[in-house]
Amino acid sequence: MLPCDFPEANATYTKPPGTTDEQVMAVPAYRDIDVDGFHFVMTAWMPNKEDLEALNAGRPLYLKICGAGMPPVAMFTVDAEGFGNF
């Protein structure tokens, strides 16, 4: 999967110092505060052909967090009208 731009994006996360373009790419993001007052960052990822084949075969979607902790996260898709499938 690759990060993709999306209409709500209002920020871009760039590569950390000391990394190359081959290691890390810029990621468009949407930063805001949700209805419960929690700050959040949302990114969009486009599955490629192999990802779609894996998902359609019932294999899981993995989330990798770089670092030593596990922040609260959510993974979801959106319907045709752009509403989250939570």
The answer for 82, left when phi > 0, alpha when psi is -120 to 50, beta otherwise, is left
Q: What is the mean pLDDT of residues 63-76?
A: 88
Model pTM score: 0.83
The structural domains of the chain, with segments of one domain joined by +, span 1-86
Q: 35 pLDDT band (50/70/90 cuts)?
A: very high
Q: What's the chain's average pLDDT? A: 92
Longest dimension (CA), the chain: 40
Other residues' Cβ atoms within 10 Å of the Cβ of residue 1? 12
Q: 2 pLDDT band (50/70/90 cuts)?
A: very high
Closest CA to 9 of 33, 39, 42, 54: 42
Other residues' Cβ atoms within 10 Å of the Cβ of residue 27? 19
Strand pairing class (11-13; 44-46): unpaired
pLDDT greater than 90 at residue 12: yes
